[in-house]
């Protein structure tokens, strides 16, 4: 029996374990990336490990999230990151050079390599044939220090693409269709691997759009084969020498198969407030639009914005619409400015933003009260835009552009003959905004601003956990719920004591003070707890506030590992059928106790006693032996030092 593409890359990087789905394995990491919202903590963690220089083939530190400088905090973080990169042997991509995933695809990605990034959309690299995985900053720091990355061997889902996209349908519609079928938790524990004759019709940027939003499935990653389309892209980036063909064997087997006929797809749209709330654009056609944002790591490539320019050329956006555009990289912006496309975009009434993430995570351009905002980004969680009651819809560039012109949600097929944009034979190459590290960083001084605080320390797991239920929440709680982003809160990412004051702010603003007053306690959640961003602050802030364990129906992969990394027990109800009854009988404020934790951690389950009601129930931890040792030590840093 042959291997699929996922198995091939994992097998070639396997350090520990066997490739049985669900079993823990460890893989060697070739490349890492960090961004400024998660990077400061990642490099503080790397420094704490005590390794003088990174041991990966390549590590890159990007500045693309916290670029709005309303105070000294973000600028101080950028200075810290630049000096840390020089000291530790990391390439530094300056503010203005572009979004990490777009730039990495253009300038650094290598087919067949592994990439670990402290951003949940790192799977964008799968469009280039990489095994690219998002993780918490501490996992990335460990990888930079030469440690393997541990994960459960994923199942592999084969999405077979047939035919060619119909006029005005796009790669965004492909991934929205996958989300419609599988849901935001349908990819947990899985890699989504694309194949079929339809793959040949998709460019690398289109493939990257699909793998990027695979993160919204909860998938470990998504991956396309590396083929002649990949080579053409790398040649155009003057990087053809890194090309390696890689594909599944003809007799490869998969755990699940999904077929999608591209020629049958029509423009799709994700309605508020979840990326899997998908309908046809034609079903919501005519809804008044207040704002349109075109950009983010999902749809800000050269081809994306050339399509926008061609659609807008000679026209003017509707009077009721604010259109903002953020190119994905300096390369994209430079090429648009040279060929006149940028002039067409600006002339139509668009507002040009810098090459950064911006509105995608609530940094600038928050919509008006109750506004409808169409966005080409990847997430539309409630409040993520910066306006809690805004209604964010996720669409393709084509749908966004058509709607900006008409002022209402508009099926782009209304525009008539399809706009076609070919990939350039050569991209403009200028890497002056990427600073390579010196050969020896021993004399480099790392500069720290006053907002950069030391890491919170986790203590070894006690033998008894006691505390009150401080918060009860439902299904699909996101890391935006736990630790919000946005222009006001993001500058505090280097300061855990300060940022913890905003923990669960959108759900219960009293939570931080109650947690502090109670001396910590428990959180009880539903299914898919912690979906969304890789931000480890969603674990660091609860740790600082004294959270001892989170009990939920199920966890999103990255957040569960972040909880483990910082010494917080992630527990699931032993029997989901009993969840409703247990949950109903347990109220906020109930006091819980778990006895003999250290001893019972070695078994599969623990018993929780609700002291307030007198009832007991069983919970599971599903921890590997290594994860048990990490928790017993009080987190991954303590474990690594041991």
Pairing of strands 149-152, 24-27: antiparallel
Task: Output Rg (C-alpha) for the chain, integer angstroms.
Answer: 24
pLDDT for 89 equals: 98
**Closest CA relative to residue 38, chosen from 145, 141, 144:** 141
**Looking at the annotation, which residues are catalytic?**
64-65, 119, 379, 533, 535
| Chain position carrying tokens 């990427």 | 434
User: Could you give the CA distance from residue 400 to residue 139 in angstroms, rounded to a whole number?
Assistant: 36
The CATH fold of domain 5-264:
Aconitase; domain 3 (3.30.499)
Task: Tell me the domain boundaries of the chain.
Answer: 5-264, 268-415, 465-641
| Chain position carrying tokens 């530790």 | 88
User: Could you give the CA distance from residue 345 to residue 323 in angstroms, rounded to a whole number?
Assistant: 10
Residue 639 C-beta-side C-alpha neighbours within 13 Å: 21
Hey, do 5-264 and 268-415 end up sharing a CATH topology, with the first three levels equal? yes
CATH number of the structural domain 268-415: 3.30.499.10
Sheet containing 434-435: order of strands: 131-134, 114-117, 31-35, 58-62, 91-93, 434-435
Sheet containing 155-162: order of strands: 221-223, 190-195, 155-162, 256-261
Question: 577 CB contacts (<8 Å, ≥6 apart)?
Answer: none
Specify the long-range contacts of residues 570-577, CB closer than 8 Å, at least 24 apart: 570/621, 571/606, 571/608, 571/619, 571/620, 571/621, 572/619, 572/620, 572/621, 572/622, 573/617, 573/618, 573/619, 573/620, 574/605, 574/617, 574/618, 574/619, 574/620, 575/618
DSSP 328: S
Question: 492 CB contacts (<8 Å, ≥6 apart)?
Answer: 73, 451, 498, 499, 502
pLDDT for 584 equals: 80
pLDDT 10s digits, 83-122: 999 999 999 999 999 999 999 999 999 999 999 999 999 9
Residues of the chain with pLDDT below 70 are 576
Give the orientation angle of helix 100-107 with respect to helix 330-339, to 10 degrees.
Answer: 80
C-alpha distance across the termini of the chain, in Å: 41
Cβ neighbourhood burial of 316 (10 Å; 0-12, 13-18, 19+): exposed
pLDDT for 327 equals: 97
pLDDT for 585 equals: 84
pLDDT for 362 equals: 86
Q: Which CATH architecture has domain 465-641?
A: Alpha-Beta Barrel (3.20)
**Closest CA relative to residue 26, chosen from 627, 642, 629:** 627
Q: Six-digit token pair at 323?
A: 């259109």
Maximum separation of any 2 CA atoms in the chain, in Å: 72
């Amino acid at each position: 029996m042959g291997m699929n593409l996922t198995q091939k890359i994992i097998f070639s990087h396997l350090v520990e374990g066997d490739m049985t789905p669900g079993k823990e394995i460890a893989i060697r990491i070739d490349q890492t990336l960090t961004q400024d919202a998660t990077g400061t903590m990642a490099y503080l963690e790397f420094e704490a490990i005590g390794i003088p220089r990174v041991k990966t083939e390549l590590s890159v530190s990007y500045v693309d999230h916290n670029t709005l400088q309303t105070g000294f905090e973000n600028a101080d973080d950028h200075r810290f990151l630049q000096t840390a990169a020089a000291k530790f042997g990391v390439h530094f991509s300056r503010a203005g050079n572009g979004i990490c995933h777009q730039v990495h695809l253009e300038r650094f990605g290598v087919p067949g390599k592994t990439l670990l990034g402290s951003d949940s959309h790192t799977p964008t690299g799968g469009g280039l044939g990489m095994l690219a995985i998002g993780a918490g900053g501490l996992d990335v720091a460990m990888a930079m220090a030469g440690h393997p990355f541990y994960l459960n061997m994923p199942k592999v889902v084969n999405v077979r693409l047939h035919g060619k996209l119909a006029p005005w349908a796009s790669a965004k519609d492909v991934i929205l269709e996958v989300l419609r079928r599988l849901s935001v938790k349908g990819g947990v524990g899985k890699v989504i691997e694309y194949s079929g004759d339809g793959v040949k019709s998709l460019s690398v940027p289109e493939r990257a759009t699909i793998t990027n939003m695979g993160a919204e499935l909860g998938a470990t990653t998504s991956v396309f084969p590396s083929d002649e389309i990949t080579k053409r892209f790398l040649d155009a980036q003057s990087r053809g020498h890194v090309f390696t063909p890689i594909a599944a064997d003809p007799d490869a087997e998969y755990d699940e198969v999904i077929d999608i006929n591209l020629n049958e797809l029509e423009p799709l749209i994700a309605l508020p407030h979840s990326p899997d709330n998908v309908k046809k654009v034609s079903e919501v056609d005519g809804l008044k639009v207040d704002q349109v944002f075109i950009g983010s790591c999902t749809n800000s490539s050269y081809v994306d914005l050339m399509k926008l320019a061609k659609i807008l050329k000679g026209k003017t956006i509707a009077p009721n619409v604010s259109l903002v555009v953020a190119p994905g990289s300096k390369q994209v912006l430079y090429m648009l400015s040279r060929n006149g496309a940028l002039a067409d975009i600006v002339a139509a009434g668009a507002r040009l933003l810098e090459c950064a993430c911006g509105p995608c995570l609530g940094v600038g351009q928050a919509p008006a009260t109750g506004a409808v905002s169409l966005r080409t980004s990847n997430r539309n969680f409630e409040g993520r835009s910066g306006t809690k009651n805004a209604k964010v819809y996720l669409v393709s560039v084509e749908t966004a552009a058509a709607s900006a012109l008409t002022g209402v949600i508009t099926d782009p097929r209304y525009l008539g003959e399809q706009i076609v944009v070919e990939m350039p034979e050569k991209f403009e190459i200028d890497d002056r905004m990427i600073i390579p590290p010196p050969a020896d960083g021993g004399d480099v001084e790392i500069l720290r601003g006053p907002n950069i605080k030391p890491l919170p320390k986790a203590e070894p797991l006690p033998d008894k956990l006691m505390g009150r239920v401080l918060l009860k929440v439902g299904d699909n709680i996101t890391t935006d719920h736990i630790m919000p982003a946005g222009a006001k809160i993001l500058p505090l990412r280097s300061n855990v004591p300060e940022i913890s004051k905003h923990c669960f702010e959108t759900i219960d603003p009293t939570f931080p003070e109650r947690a502090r007053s109670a001396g910590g306690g428990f959180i009880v959640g539903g299914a898919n707890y912690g979906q969304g961003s890789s931000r480890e602050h969603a674990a660091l802030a609860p740790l600082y506030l004294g959270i001892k364990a989170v009990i939920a129906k199920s966890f999103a992969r990255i957040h569960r590992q972040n909880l483990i990394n910082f010494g917080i027990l992630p527990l699931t109800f032993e029997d989901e059928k009993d969840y409703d009854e247990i949950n109903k009988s347990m109220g906020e404020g109930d006091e819980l106790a778990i006895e003999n934790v250290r001893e019972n951690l070695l078994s599969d389950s623990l018993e929780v006693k609700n002291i307030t009601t007198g009832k007991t129930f069983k919970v599971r931890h599903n921890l590997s032996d290594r994860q048990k040792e990490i928790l017993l030590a009080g987190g991954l840093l303590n474990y690594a030092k041991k």
